[in-house]
Structure 1
């Protein structure tokens, strides 16, 4: 079987990745995201109240600003208390409400000065959105910042340079979004890669890859006698073997396949659109390229419209792997690869 025999369904893959990013929201749980949004609201309200009463109160600031700040403060405290009960859509509603309040503050001020202050809160909103939401969702919030600030500056009759102020706010929001997105991507890459082999790690499989397909094959691969290699040749030699195998095995796979280091000398292979026969053929190629070492592997397939969770599939593959482990010392690849029955 040649690698070129299988074509990559780019449309399906992109849709699958989008669904996963929607579910994971950058791997942050809803409870964590809710707590951070609560702290953001409490911080923004505190800064706003401190600014009003310590810096600009003598300028005749409308009581409305204080009332809105207190409202945001109470919302933040309320959200912090009930963080475990918050639903994902509630986070979006709160962030949209924050954008609307900041924009309304600009409009009601009837002066250009608030642009200098409120741009800070818009930046906070953008940082939060790109830290906890998917890129597309965060960009939608960035657009609401553009629209909200544009309307506020345009409708505010006392604002002397609405276009200039709006460009200042928008430029700051874009720069904030760009650097936040880059930082989040870098952190995600570090947390999802195995430093030794450069392969995806267990967390990446659980967070990003699973489950993006409903028609796939999955295998668990465990090297034979790897502990003895470490004991006799040293751990540096063992690390070199793992790096070499990762490099060789990746060359045998398609772009859409995922080879991950599951832990120690154990690897997980997930191949979308792959039959039982095709998975066995791939595992046999990997077994041949593993020489002079050998491995034991257990694998199974999940067909379209079948439902299975990752944990149950791993347990099934693990049982098959140990069946193979009991007879793998024959060095025969037919014995070393066992399918789940």
Structure 2
């Protein structure tokens, strides 16, 4: 029986008006990132695909019956009488930093989580075992490419009437979405500093003003530098190759970048790889804000070359320690 899914936005719906600096009616609602709809200048369109809410279907109580999950989706499960464990699984196409979250644990309960390589379900690569109903969260976990099994189980107080929430995402994607969600304005300088690209002074207000982001330029390369957790104020399109290695275009994975034509974008995911459709996150240019965009890529399987917007770009992957 297939997993039941439906379109949703996690716990809140944030609408953005044209030219608005920050989302209206939004608050920080997710440890990984928020989901946003955008009303753009061309009409009411979604700038980012909404996350799916996925509800477990039994059986999923053994590693072999684990249900597949996708990055940024909200996966829900519960523990009715006699149900003592749920298994989920996901794949990482490349080594990357990953965030994993387990929340919405009911009061009076204590749920724990373990993550295993699929080849060894006896030795977890990460465990979340906080007491009571505290959220379990790991940020920037260095994980190798491959298949993973996630085990969620009640340490105490199982409930069948309240569903927990499980989510994972590459850290670079979570950080990139933070700027997209708040509509970070493009600027060639740090907050309060001179805009060396567009002129004037960089001014961030509302939810775009954040002490963690203020030291970074909010141009295209500053955006990638934040997403990649590089030192502020960020590298440039000329120096980002020093922190990365070229890959073949057809091997693009979440968190990689496309660099070329004086611009750089963060690759989020393939939406239809066979058709060359992909989602990117980026800071476009002066007088714009960070955005998610679905584009068509022509990616080489033998070189780093990728055609984007009729121009030549090259695919890069962040160097890991």
Range into which the TM-score falls when normalised by the shorter chain = under 0.3
Q: Which has the higher helix share?
A: 1
Q: TM-score, normalised by structure 1?
A: 0.23
Larger Rg: 1
Q: TM-score, normalised by structure 2?
A: 0.24
Q: Which has the higher strand share?
A: 2
